[in-house]
């Protein structure tokens, strides 16, 4: 499956003008890019990549809060989802994927079946955001948080998500490889540790961004009382960089992107069918 998937992505990248290449240095993604706020017209039943906006109470090394990997990962994942599945992806007037940013206190949140968030170890939710995110998840919404590293970021995130979903009623658990989300379309046998491309280059292929404090990848979740997964947490790995940076370095692409897209596609299809 892995070799075939590499071939599919590589072939598609030759013909697709929609894949973005380059991060902050290229001026196309990262800090300083204003959010494309969601509007009612963005939602017509098609898939729209919804990135949640939140306020950070501190800055992580290498992170940029809500906008980490934005909007390159949002764009590239949407392109590949349309190529690899029959999911109808919302396009804008330029025939580019229509990704959006939505505030956790915005009523349009309930038009997003799924939310993406990164660098969540820095998040600081207001009471209004806590209440609305709680309602969103219990009404069938799904949240995937990614790209936060080390024990400090984990502890900070747990404090925030426990305000939304109290641990006594909604405990965090390790998602087993036998879970349906691992096999929705692609047979995912493990979660890779993906470093951001800068760390990978600077360390000659190192994968743990916080070294000993982030040596182990965690793939954890929270489910409702019907065992529906509501929150997915990929900790000590950066799955989103496999999307954002796929066109930047061939070795990085081959090592990480096929597995990152397989995980992402599985998550979307699980969300749409549960």
Number of domains in the chain: 1
User: What is the C-alpha to C-alpha distance for residues 210 and 155, in angstroms, rounded to an integer?
Assistant: 15
> Which percentage of the chain shows pLDDT scores above 70?
90
Task: Please report, for the domain that includes residue 159, its CATH number.
Answer: 3.40.50.12140
**Token pair listed for 269:** 């299809």
Q: Which structural domain, as residue segments, surrounds residue 162?
A: 2-273
- Quote the pLDDT of residue 215: 98
- Mean pLDDT for 56-65 is 90
Among the residue ranges 31-35, 46-50, 148-152, the one predicted with the least confidence is 31-35
* pTM of this structure: 0.92
Note the pLDDT tens digit of each residue in 192-246.
999 999 999 999 999 999 999 999 999 999 999 999 999 999 999 999 999 999 9
pLDDT in tens, 116-171: 999 999 999 999 999 999 999 999 999 999 999 999 999 999 999 999 999 999 99
165-198, pLDDT tens digit by residue? Answer: 999 999 999 999 999 999 999 999 999 999 999 9
Q: What is the DSSP letter of 65?
A: G
- Helix (H) or strand (E) holding 50, with range, is strand 50-53
C-alpha pair distances (Å), 265 with each of 3, 81, 232: 17, 6, 14
What are the two backbone dihedrals, phi and then psi, of residue 37, each rounded to the nearest 5 degrees?
-70, 140
Is the pLDDT at 65 greater than 60, yes or no?
A: yes
């Amino acid at each position: 499956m892995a070799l075939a998937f590499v071939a599919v992505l590589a072939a598609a990248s030759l013909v697709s003008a929609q894949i973005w290449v380059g991060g902050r240095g290229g001026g196309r993604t990262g800090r300083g890019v204003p959010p494309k706020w969601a509007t009612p017209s963005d939602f017509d039943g098609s898939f729209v990549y919804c990135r949640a906006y939140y306020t950070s109470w501190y800055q992580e090394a290498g992170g940029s809060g809500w906008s980490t990997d934005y909007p390159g990962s949002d764009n590239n994942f949407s392109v590949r989802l349309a190529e690899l599945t029959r999911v109808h992806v919302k396009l804008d007037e330029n025939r580019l994927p229509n990704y959006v940013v939505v505030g956790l206190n915005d009523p349009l949140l309930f038009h997003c079946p799924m939310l993406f968030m990164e660098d969540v170890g820095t998040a600081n939710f207001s009471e209004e955001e806590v209440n609305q995110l709680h309602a969103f998840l219990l009404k069938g919404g799904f949240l995937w948080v990614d790209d936060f590293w080390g024990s400090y970021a984990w502890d900070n995130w747990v404090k925030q998500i426990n305000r939304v979903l109290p641990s006594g009623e909604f405990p965090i658990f390790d998602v087993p490889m036998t879970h349906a989300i691992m096999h929705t379309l692609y047979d995912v046998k493990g979660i890779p540790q993906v470093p951001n491309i800068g760390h990978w280059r600077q360390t000659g292929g190192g994968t743990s961004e916080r070294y000993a404090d982030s040596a182990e990848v965690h793939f954890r979740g929270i489910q409702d009382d019907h065992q529906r997964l509501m929150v997915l947490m990929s900790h000590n790995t950066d799955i989103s960089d496999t999307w954002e940076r796929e066109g930047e370095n061939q070795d990085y692409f081959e090592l990480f992107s096929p597995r990152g897209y397989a995980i992402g596609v599985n998550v979307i299809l699980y969300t749409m069918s549960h």
